[in-house]
Chain A
């Protein structure tokens, strides 16, 4: 398995809370991604980064924000969680020299 980590793995919170989903990789990859995946459904890209200080929005509109201050770290933040944010969030990374994206184990978020 690839060296890409996500914490927490599971999170249940109440509406209106601010949360940060952590993603870290130890492979030195410059490109990182956040995908949202509803149960039994395909993945949709919500954010990506080409490298430090680079962040872009993906195909699926999301109220979340991301930052990339360090190469290995790409956290995702929700300022005020809502039940519509309930989903699984997958982080991925890759180097510019390969086409393979390596995925983290995911964070399953439930907002009550």
Chain B
């Protein structure tokens, strides 16, 4: 079974600065997807960014980018020019391509990001 580990329960960043959230995972599969989801307080969980394991190029979405290190099984999220609206719980998630279970997502325990003025 796959596992996802987020070792930083909380992180803080100053507005306009850059922060990196860590995620590691364990799998024996060669092809899979990785995701970062954002869950603001009392609001809907939304997708921030996704990465296909077969792609060597790191995904980017505006101020959000990932550092995907397949051999190290590491998938960190970098947020540049942090804004107050970035404050949220961030979840790293893994999805296998080949196993059953409805292609479910396996989530990490989350990192609470605080953005300070």
Contact = CB atoms under 8 A, between A and B. Distances in A.
Nearest to B6: A42
B68 interface: no
Contacts of B47: 100-102
B37 to A, nearest CB: 8
Contact of A41 (B35, B37, B105, B109): B109
Contact size range, B: 20 to 34
B43 interface: yes
A42 B109 CA distance: 4
Contacts of B95: 99
Interface string A30-54: 0101000000111111001110000
A89 interface: no
B85 interface: no
22 contacts: A1-B46, A2-B44, A2-B46, A33-B104, A40-B112, A42-B4, A42-B107, A43-B105, A48-B101, A49-B102, A58-B102, A58-B104, A59-B104, A90-B45, A99-B33, A99-B35, A99-B95, A100-B47, A101-B105, A102-B47, A105-B43, A106-B45
Interface of B: 4, 33, 35, 37, 43-47, 50, 89, 91, 95, 101-105, 107-110, 112
